[in-house]
Amino acid sequence: MNHSVKLAALAASLLWISCSPAPGPAPETPRILPAGAMNDPLEPLNRGLWVANRGLLAGILQPAGRVWRTLVPTPARESIQNFNRNVRYPGRVANQMLQGRWQDAGDESLRFLANTTAGVGGLFDVASKWDMPKSNADFGQTFTRWGWRPGTYLMLPVFGPSDECHALGTAADRFADPLNYSEPYSYISAGTSFNRLSESTDEVLRLIRSSADPYADTRILWTHAVAPGTPDMRLRGPVDMPTLQTLGISLIRCKDRDFPLRGREMSVRVPATGRTAPFNVWLQKQPAPLVYINPGLGGHRLSLTQLSLAEFLYQNGFSVVVTSSVFHPEFMERAATTGLPAYPPADSADLLALLAAIDARLERRHPGLLGPRALVGFSMGGFHALNLAAREKNHPAGSPRFERYVAINPPVDLHRGISALDRFVNAPAAWPENEREARIDNTFLKVAHFARQQPSELAAPPLEAAESKLLIGLSFRMILRDTIFSSQARHNMGVLQNPLSKWRRDPVYQEILGYSYEDYFHRFVLPYYHSRGIGIGDFKREADLHNFTASLAPQDKARVITNRNDFLLEAHDFAWLESTFRSKRLHLFPSGGHLGNLGDDAMHAALLEALGGLNGSSAEGPGNPAARSMSDRRKLHERPLDAARYR
């Protein structure tokens, strides 16, 4: 179950505090629910400005930035950035003094002196080479230090997210910039700002596109980014290694920052929906095996988890295709034939139909370039990979013939998996009630501190069990928020009490965040599928891989890679995995939590081993129509994969 988009910045769940229960069945334990981000009374206007800013970023700044980076070598761009920071020294040191940060002001003064002289007017950052301390300050920070607590979220034209405090601070910062006091130099100020932005436009747009609601996520991140306070880093309870190690997924990055740009984004028409669905592909120049990567719960094709795995496989000679999760609104609105995701046979059928359409298009455009196919899925994507492996005999004609199914950290029983996630949200209920709110706030302050550190410094963050569980639980709860909103905006079942407005979402978001995964199942999923002849018994059977032992045990093409301390698995699940996937088809790591070691070298080696042997086509490989035809004529022993019956 992928939470890389939300944990990609752990701060995506930072601002949440405890509040009273929201709609849904009464829970057995008190819920720890979000009270919302910074107040947003101007949400419709702010969202409109967000759309305009996004258009400016994508339509002008990104293409101009790419041209700039192509024409201007990296050392020159770095020198411009160094000059930009050095020349703004007066405003920075003034704010440090206004905040009483005398040591920082002294350090910055020494840096300014060193870089202005030995650094040739600030073009070279010799102060950093000499290990001189570095710090920042601005008027927005000063105002909050003086006690101003921002309360109203604002989206400023061009400048982006802000609030009443930092908007005034931005204006004051411009007055403190020496370059703004003379007409010729003001152009230099604009140029240095553009140079700085050009380095991040691609990454910012990737984050925007990978989020189901980037406006809401930005508002959450901003709320916590400007929250005052210093975290108490002491551990006041035991550490839970499975969840702590799981947070390691937030450190995954592409080794080549430009790797996402080296592939192609394409789209394909999905016959069952009549809509076009996007995907990303990286093709080798010579014939090579083609690996389809299917992400976990709510994962997007442009998430860093997806991209880093695609980068590793591509660098090792595979062509790679990435798609979005069946639980991501992009898939739900373009490729799904059902109103909402949850029923494995329907979800797997929709996924297979999308992959078939992609495979057919790539085969037409690149004949002879595509070798044996493999499906790699992690978390929920791994569950779907095994589901498709178990039903391989029933794949419709025209489906890609996979020579390998690799499941990384798959849940075995989906119901038990979502129950664990719901419990994680309630983890702070174990704290004394009179301390709970303060300790939750401190958890978020800790994560804000982590977000400012380098990834190498975050190997073992000081989080106790309740804290790491809360962060994971809330990140998954935000995925559920997007799933419910998208499904009800298209097929309103009348469960939600607040209007489903695309321009003013905060009220309905707060209502949705009161629903657990168990609530989603009972209040939305069961009624929807009951009207289509699917009952709770069908769900219990289809959501548990134990019921597919007869199909998976002899399936030589299926592989599983997982960790002994994955919190989605229990002892009898490991016993089942070991008895079902024999003959080196199972790789168990002693630790790593749930996907926490996905970027490790050992995990990569295990993945290559699982994909070994794909360079040679088998008798029933993708290029053998006779074999496929023979397979299609085989007697079906299981229910066929046909999503249309669940519409």
Contact 327, 417 (CB under 8 A): no
pLDDT category at 454 given cuts 50, 70, 90 is low
Give residue-wise pLDDT tens across range 208-231: 999 999 999 999 888 888 877 788
**Bridge partners of residue 375, in order along the sequence:** 292, 405
647 inside domain:
no
Q: 134-138, 223-227, 309-313, 418-422 — which is least confidently predicted?
A: 223-227
Per-residue pLDDT averaged across 445-460, rounded?
A: 70
Alpha helices in 506-548 (DSSP H): 506-512, 517-519, 526-530, 536-542
pLDDT at 193: 87
Which residue type, as a one-letter code, is found at position 290?
L
35 inside domain:
yes
Per-residue pLDDT averaged across 426-443, rounded?
A: 90
Contact 426, 465 (CB under 8 A): no
Give residue-wise pLDDT tens across range 573-604: 999 999 999 878 999 999 999 999 999 999 99
22 inside domain:
yes
pLDDT at 451: 75
Give residue-wise pLDDT tens across range 351-368: 999 999 999 999 999 999
Q: pLDDT at residue 625 above 70?
A: no
Per-residue pLDDT averaged across 244-265, rounded?
A: 92
121 inside domain:
no
The tokens describing 267, both together, are: 């789209």
The residue with tokens 């996402």 is 260
pLDDT category at 434 given cuts 50, 70, 90 is very high
DSSP state of 95: H
pLDDT at 615: 67
Contact 223, 157 (CB under 8 A): no
Per-residue pLDDT averaged across 198-207, rounded?
A: 90
Per-residue pLDDT averaged across 234-254, rounded?
A: 91
The tokens describing 236, both together, are: 């006041």
**Residue 542 belongs to a domain with what CATH number?**
3.40.50.1820
Give residue-wise pLDDT tens across range 379-431: 999 999 999 999 999 999 999 999 999 999 999 999 999 999 999 999 999 99
Reported pTM: 0.87
- Number of domains forming the structure of the chain: 1
Give residue-wise pLDDT tens across range 77-95: 999 999 999 999 999 999 9
- The residue among 410 and 22 whose pLDDT is bigger is 410
The tokens describing 440, both together, are: 């939750």
Give residue-wise pLDDT tens across range 471-487: 999 999 999 999 999 99
Helix axes 214-225, 43-56, angle to 10 degrees: 100
Provide the pairing of β-strand 370-378 with 319-322. unpaired
167 inside domain:
no
User: Could you tell me the strand order of the sheet in which 319-322 lies?
Assistant: 264-270, 275-282, 319-322, 288-294, 370-378, 402-408, 558-563, 586-589
Which residue type, as a one-letter code, is found at position 386?
L
Please give the backbone phi and psi of residue 161, each rounded to the nearest 5 degrees, phi first.
-65, 145
Percent of the chain with pLDDT over 90: 75
Residues 508, 506: Cα–Cα separation, whole Å: 6
Domain range enclosing 418 = 1-88+177-616+624-633
**Bridge partners of residue 563, in order along the sequence:** 589
Query: Which 3-state string (H, E, C) describes 368-428?
Result: CCEEEEEEEEECHHHHHHHHHHHCHHHCCCCCCCEEEEEEECCCCEHHHHHHHHHHHHCHH
Per-residue pLDDT averaged across 161-187, rounded?
A: 87
Which residue type, as a one-letter code, is found at position 559?
R
606 inside domain:
yes
pLDDT at 6: 37
pLDDT at 55: 95
1 inside domain:
yes
188 inside domain:
yes
pLDDT category at 11 given cuts 50, 70, 90 is very low
